[in-house]
A = this chain, B = another copy of it.
Amino acid sequence: MTDRFAIVMAGGSGTRFWPASRAARPKQFLALGSDAETLLQATVARAARAVGRDQVLVVTSARHGDATREQLPDLPQANILLEPAGRNTAPCIAWAAAHVRRRAPQGLIAVLPADPHIGDEDAFAAVLGRALDAAAAGSIVTVGIEPSRPETGYGYVDVGDAVDVGVPDVHRVRRFEEKPDQATADRYVASGHHLWNSGMFFFRADVILAEIARHMPELGEFVADCDRAAATDRELAFVEGRYGQLPKVSIDYGVMERAEDILVLPGAFGWDDIGSWSAAWALAAKDGDGNASAGAEALPIDSRGCYVSAPEGKLVALVGVEDLVVVDTPDALLVMPRSRAQDVRKVVDALREDDRLEHL
């Protein structure tokens, strides 16, 4: 068996989970469910079960290095790659794949975003194994999620003909589709041959780096320079000086939409990108009245459908309220209906406008 690796992409930032998520603590560092594990910890544990802890690389922003090491104390230090600047997923994957190739030139890699929710771990593990198998002969493979609703917040994969690579249910990707408008999303879901783009990719290190060199020559050069610098132990200094100048391009746009013969496996394992507090509520364990809480202890009285997040030890009493999101942190508190979860950005915009950086 070829060596198997995972690249966990934990470079995300974002404001949809304000005030729990901040510039200094984005979504992947949060425990949004009912247990104490953060999304990053859950993803790394999942990856470690599949490929072994020493073969899991985590790529994150340099500013989140401390938080990452703190959340992953058992991961070898050298497995955490700190990006000096965020350049989207293509440079991130290129750099991490170069690391893998040095350890195993044909190492099989599972690229996993750090922050989705996975409902069914066993089903996920099975699909991940099959996706790596399908990639072993030199293909690039993605896993598409069977859509449960016409979501406009995700990209889609248009699924083509079945193909025999010794693994069941593998198809060619006909096309990667951007986030659609509602009518298009409706059409996709009705078509029966569109899956959600999970952002998970599976390939051999040599294969993806060849594709990167071909479609993104500047990034290919960066990888070659990286390897040379690494040979004389100067990689970190080199990356420090160069990374911020790399093109800011997603792997989808930079490689997947241009490469030929991308394969896709359909997956159904309770995947969700958790795009809002409302989604966090939908995925969390609930009491008989539909109330969910993370961290804090909620005391709901005559209350239904609420989501509470607050620091451990805090008591949050709800009396006679319905479908509210209540998120408390030491210095900021948010109260809104679940249906307004998208409007968190209005708060963030208002704070930014007023230069209230301490709360961002």
Contact = CB atoms under 8 A, between A and B. Distances in A.
Interface of A: 19, 299, 301-302, 310, 313-321, 324, 326, 328, 331-337, 339-340, 343-344, 346-347, 350-351, 356, 359
A328 B319 contact: no
Contact of A350 (B301, B339, B340, B344): B301
Given A310-B333, A317-B347, A335-B335, 12 more contacts: A19-B315, A315-B333, A315-B359, A316-B332, A316-B333, A316-B335, A317-B335, A319-B343, A319-B346, A320-B340, A320-B343, A324-B335
Contacts of A336: 317-321
A143 to B, nearest CB: 35
Max chain B C-beta neighbours (<10 A), residue from A333, A344, A347, A351: A333
Contact of A333 (B314, B320, B356): B314
Main secondary structure, interface of A, reads strand
A301 to B, nearest CB: 5
A347 B340 CA distance: 27
Contacts of A316: 332-333, 335
Those 6 A-B pairs whose CB atoms lie nearest each other, nearest first = A319-B336, A320-B340, A315-B332, A317-B347, A316-B333, A317-B334
A120 to B, nearest CB: 33
Contact of A317 (B314, B320, B332): B332
Nearest to A342: B319
A347 B316 CA distance: 10
A315 B335 contact: no
A15 to B, nearest CB: 12
Contacts of A340: 302, 319-320
A305 to B, nearest CB: 13
B326 A335 contact: yes
B320 A328 contact: no
A337 B321 contact: yes
B328 A328 contact: yes
Contact of A301 (B314, B343, B356): B343
A315 B332 CA distance: 5
Contacts of A317: 19, 332-336, 347
9 contacts: A299-B347, A301-B346, A313-B331, A314-B333, A318-B334, A319-B344, A320-B340, A321-B335, A321-B336
A336 to B, nearest CB: 4
Contact of A321 (B314, B319, B324): B324
A281 to B, nearest CB: 15
Contacts of A335: 316-319, 321, 324, 326, 335
Nearest to A333: B316
A298 to B, nearest CB: 10
Contacts of A314: 331-333
B337 A320 contact: yes
